[in-house]
């Protein structure tokens, strides 16, 4: 779901660029494209709301485009990823279709960009999901992506 807490924490801050790809409409009802930051932080929030059951290829395309847009504007000192696993297929509360392979691909893209833009500094927070076996598969995929290991 939308990273509303993180967005709120940095909404007026131009030193943090917040990007969220999330299902919409969905809990908590925030994360519209019109939410772009305020004050000094105007333009440092990018929300990409996606419909339920967005095809995997479309989700990955949206991720690539959004990440490219962020990196054109912002040169981070490090990248912080809140990896939520309710985007995975079979999550009982989510409605997305991602597989562990998709999480691996996105993680590798972030790691590769971080190597070029901020000396490889990436921190990943492994967040929720509601299908424990699938969460485990997702966590393994993200960790393998961070470590540069082969796909799970």
Within a domain: residue 45? no
The residue written with tokens 């924490």 in the block is 9
88 and 133 Cβ atoms separated by less than 8 Å = no
Within a domain: residue 126? yes
Nearest to 63 by CA among 46, 42, 86, 41: 46
Average pLDDT over residues 77-81: 97
- Assigned token pair, 152: 């799970």
Within a domain: residue 92? yes
Average pLDDT over residues 78-106: 97
Looking at the structure of the chain, the number of domains it has is 1
Within a domain: residue 51? no
pLDDT the model gives residue 152? 81
pLDDT, tens digit, 9 for 90 and up, residues 25-43: 999 999 999 999 999 999 9
78 and 117 Cβ atoms separated by less than 8 Å = no
Which domain range does residue 116 map to? 76-152
Residue 57 has pLDDT above 90, yes or no: yes
Q: In angstroms, rounded to a whole number, what is the distance separating the alpha carbons of residues 56 and 33? A: 21
- Assigned token pair, 120: 């490889």
Residue 115 has pLDDT above 90, yes or no: yes
Average pLDDT over residues 115-134: 95
Within a domain: residue 121? yes
Within a domain: residue 19? no
């Amino acid at each position: 779901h939308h990273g509303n807490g993180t967005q709120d924490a940095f909404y007026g801050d131009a030193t943090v660029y917040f990007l969220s790809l999330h299902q919409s409409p969905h809990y908590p009802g925030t994360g519209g494209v019109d939410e772009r930051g305020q004050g000094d932080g105007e333009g440092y929030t990018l929300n990409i709301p996606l419909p339920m059951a967005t095809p995997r290829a479309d989700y990955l395309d949206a991720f690539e485009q959004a990440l490219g847009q962020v990196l054109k504007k912002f040169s981070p000192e490090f990248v912080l990823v809140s990896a939520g696993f309710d985007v995975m297929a079979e999550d009982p509360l989510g409605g997305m279709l991602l597989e562990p392979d998709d999480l691996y691909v996105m993680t590798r893209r972030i790691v590769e960009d971080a190597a070029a833009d901020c000396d490889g500094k990436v921190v990943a927070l492994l967040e929720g999901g509601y299908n424990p076996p699938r969460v485990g598969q997702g966590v393994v995929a993200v960790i393998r992506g961070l470590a540069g290991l082969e796909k799970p």
